[in-house]
Amino acid sequence: MRLLAVINYFVFLPSLFTPFGITLSVIHVVVATTTDGRNLRGERKALKDFIERDKETRGMNKKKQIQFKQSNKPKIILEEKKNSLSIREDYRTKISESSSIGNDDDNDGVDLDDVSDEESKRWFVQYSRDVDKEKIMKSSHAVREKLSSSFLNDRNIMVVEIDESNLHRLSNENVIISAQRDGRVEATGSIRNVPLPSSSNNARHLLEEIPWGIKMIQADQLDVGPHPVKCCIVDTGYALDHPDLPTNNVSGDNSVRENWDWKVDLNGHGTHIAGTIAALRNNSLGIVGAGEIPLHITRGLDDQARGFESTLIDAIEQCIAAGAKIINVSLGGNTMSENSREFYSRAVKVDGVMIVAAAGNQGAKIHQYPASHPDVISVAAVYSWGRFWDKSNYSDQVELAAPGHGILSTTVTFAAVSTTNFSHRAVQVDGTRSRNQRGLLLDCGSGNYVCGKSDNGTTTVLPGRQDGGICLMYRDHTHLNKMVQNCEDGGGKGVIVFDANPALSSSTINTKSKWTRSSLSVVFVPMEVGETLLASFIGTVTSIGFHDTKFDPKPTHSYAYFEGTSMAVPHVVAAAALVWSYFPECSNNEIRYALAITASDQGKKGCDWDYGYGIVKAKDAYDWLLSKQKLREPCGSGSWGQPLKEGEGGCNVV
């Protein structure tokens, strides 16, 4: 049963009319509670309708259709005002409903309101004179400068790591025109299940498999046309030597500000994206991608799948320079600077590219960026049966939906578990610590109690006996976050997780919640590997290894099921590339229009906040454009697919 209440929150908001730039306001926030903790779709719809009715009674304008709450941590923006700099508090905002749809531990999204030390010091800083640039450089810890001409350099904007005290001092000396925080972004896809080679599943990868997502978007019904369209993937890199990925018709650029190599992927996220778009066909191996689509790879994210707004700007500029027309951005953050807003608008409206980004995985009514920029296509995720994925974000900017749950594709694995006369590949749970660990292997059951140290290697006890061990846990009904916490509370060094129940092997490994800040190394192994360890190796010295010659430092080219809106994005990118390859005369806006008007409507009739216009369908979009040609209303006729007005996106495309 879900209870609704309207609560008045007193919130300090920026104001230009008070001495301290702050005024006290009252915000009405709708809070939803549930007795069983479930996020029931019907109840959420009812909540959404309730919120909308409540807003309408207050006459809220279109730009304020989402209720916000105040974040704990403000960010300071320095901005120009009458030839001098003023300082104001600009609070990060998240939609208040996100905190009421369940416990944070069940949220698949990272809490980006927790600003890291590195992020808190990283800024876009604009200057006017070269002498001012020198002063900024001398006052900074590090300068992330790009030498070639770029959107930022052309505007005299530097990316620096600098203390706020120095920003204030430089602003008082009229050295800085403006300063905006260089916001953090992260990948929005996570490991779900790993079909590593074994006696039970080795055969499945001897012959090609067509993932269900390829079929759902009709990529199996449409080959690449006579005018192939280059797609650019901005991510963690590309495993160039993966046997199921193309080496021809693939190019790339290394990061210009960071030491990131495009043809190396030490994470696997970018390689998974690439497989959905372009995994090889007719090679009797692995999976089938959407088609022989030309790729360009750039690095917007590091090996931990994290980056900044500035690294995205650089990477997308490289995509455009390489001739890419569609850009895959399977990542996001909670904020967007004005520099980024201007950049994305220019890329779409001036350079004519299509940018497709992930709506996010918090399962909340929330704007994630760059997806929620109106010129960017925001993509939500669906299950294999077409229903909205519960952890996908929903908002007025969602435009399309695509497969995003249990997506099988190419990836790399680096971790391994090893004990006496036995070793096996493992997959690191994304975001956890890459630290080699060694200790006695402990039977910690389903992880529902404190476990982590042993007196004799066979009996688990409370903390205080010898050094910590390696917790072997089977996943049954205990939440993974709790399992890891119980091992950490018990003094354990690392966790090896496997699914005891085959029916649960499709359950989510939550890789983006707060426990990933723990000091433990956490890996996932197939069920049969966990059962072998449980039956024969409890009490023996066991190791979890990462990037160590003892465990083979080279990545294993493998396959994995991922989930997230990250996985939905390449399905839309692939569909757009297939369709556009037949109609090169079409603009980015016209292809965008065709994808939206032919999407398979789901949920509430018409465009809605969950699915947008619906699930993308490549063949249907192709047929629609062909019919427009026959009706003498082709691309360029001006009768449809015109550029959107400023600020329009989401359900305003058609």
Domains of the chain: 1-74+91-104 (no CATH), 107-182 (3.30.70), 188-408+564-638 (3.40.50.200), 415-554 (3.50.30.30)
Catalytic residue, candidates 423, 446, 507, 587: 423
Lookup result for tokens 């369940």? 102
Catalytic residue, candidates 139, 182, 242, 269: 269
Taken in order 518, 486, 419, 458, is the CA torsion positive or negative?
positive
Residue-averaged pLDDT of the chain: 77
Task: Give the pLDDT confidence score for residue 147 in this predicted structure.
Answer: 56
Using pLDDT thresholds of 50, 70 and 90, give the confidence band for residue 452. Answer: confident
Q: Hey, which residues does 422 pair with through a beta bridge?
A: 419
Is the per-residue pLDDT at 137 higher than 60?
A: yes
Task: Give the pLDDT confidence score for residue 222 in this predicted structure.
Answer: 98
Side-chain-facing half-sphere of 387: CA atoms under 13 Å:
6
| Maximal C-alpha separation, the chain | 81
Is the per-residue pLDDT at 2 higher than 60?
A: no
Task: Give the pLDDT confidence score for residue 545 in this predicted structure.
Answer: 79
Using pLDDT thresholds of 50, 70 and 90, give the confidence band for residue 456. Answer: very low
653 vs 540: CA distance, rounded Å: 61
Q: Does residue 68 contact residue 159 with C-beta atoms inside 8 Å?
A: no
Compute the average pLDDT of residues 596-603: 97
Q: Which range scores top for mean pLDDT: 116-130, 140-154, 241-255, 469-483?
A: 241-255
Task: Give the pLDDT confidence score for residue 435 in this predicted structure.
Answer: 76
Task: Give the pLDDT confidence score for residue 303 in this predicted structure.
Answer: 86
Using one digit for the tens of pLDDT, what is the confidence trace for 257-311? 788 999 999 888 999 999 999 999 999 889 999 999 999 999 999 988 999 999 9
Tell which wins on pLDDT, 468 or 566. Answer: 566
Q: What percent of the chain has pLDDT over 70?
A: 71
Closest CA to 572 of 306, 341, 382: 382
Is the per-residue pLDDT at 372 higher than 50?
A: yes
Task: Give the pLDDT confidence score for residue 424 in this predicted structure.
Answer: 82
Task: Give the pLDDT confidence score for residue 560 in this predicted structure.
Answer: 83
Is the per-residue pLDDT at 238 higher than 90?
A: yes
Task: Give the pLDDT confidence score for residue 119 in this predicted structure.
Answer: 57
Burial of 137 (0-12, 13-18, 19+ CB in 10 A): middle
Tell which wins on pLDDT, 594 or 424. Answer: 594
Q: Is 223 a catalytic residue?
A: no
Tell which wins on pLDDT, 630 or 42. Answer: 630
Q: Does residue 498 contact residue 424 with C-beta atoms inside 8 Å?
A: no
Q: What percent of the chain has pLDDT over 90?
A: 53
Task: Give the pLDDT confidence score for residue 521 in this predicted structure.
Answer: 85
Using pLDDT thresholds of 50, 70 and 90, give the confidence band for residue 90. Answer: very low
Task: Give the pLDDT confidence score for residue 618 in this predicted structure.
Answer: 98
Q: Is 351 a catalytic residue?
A: no
> Prior bond to 294 cis, omega within 30?
no
Is the per-residue pLDDT at 621 higher than 90?
A: yes
Q: Helix or strand or coil: residue 615?
A: strand
Using one digit for the tens of pLDDT, what is the confidence trace for 489-499? 898 999 999 97
Using one digit for the tens of pLDDT, what is the confidence trace for 143-191? 877 655 589 989 999 999 999 899 999 999 999 999 999 999 999 877 6
Is the per-residue pLDDT at 615 higher than 70?
A: yes
Q: Helix or strand or coil: residue 163?
A: coil
Is the per-residue pLDDT at 69 higher than 80?
A: no
Task: Give the pLDDT confidence score for residue 18 in this predicted structure.
Answer: 36
Tell which wins on pLDDT, 255 or 45. Answer: 255
Lookup result for tokens 């505007």? 155
Using pLDDT thresholds of 50, 70 and 90, give the confidence band for residue 120. Answer: low
Task: Give the pLDDT confidence score for residue 257 in this predicted structure.
Answer: 79
Task: Give the pLDDT confidence score for residue 51 in this predicted structure.
Answer: 39
Lookup result for tokens 């499945």? 204
Residues 6+ apart with CB under 8 A from 294: 228, 229, 230, 231, 249, 250
Compute the average pLDDT of residues 63-81: 34
Using pLDDT thresholds of 50, 70 and 90, give the confidence band for residue 193. Answer: low
Is the per-residue pLDDT at 442 higher than 90?
A: yes
Task: Give the pLDDT confidence score for residue 422 in this predicted structure.
Answer: 86
Residues 6+ apart with CB under 8 A from 120: 164, 181
Compute the average pLDDT of residues 521-533: 88
Q: Is 269 a catalytic residue?
A: yes
Sheet holding 556-563, edge to edge: 190-193, 556-563, 407-413
Is the per-residue pLDDT at 55 higher than 60?
A: no
Is the per-residue pLDDT at 6 higher than 50?
A: no
Tell which wins on pLDDT, 513 or 228. Answer: 228
Side-chain-facing half-sphere of 414: CA atoms under 13 Å:
24
Compute the average pLDDT of residues 363-378: 96
Catalytic residue, candidates 108, 182, 235, 390: 235
Task: Give the pLDDT confidence score for residue 480 in this predicted structure.
Answer: 82
| 555 DSSP 8-state letter | P
Task: Give the pLDDT confidence score for residue 429 in this predicted structure.
Answer: 72
Q: Helix or strand or coil: residue 331?
A: strand
Q: Which range scores top for mean pLDDT: 93-107, 374-388, 443-457, 515-529?
A: 374-388
Is the per-residue pLDDT at 325 higher than 70?
A: yes
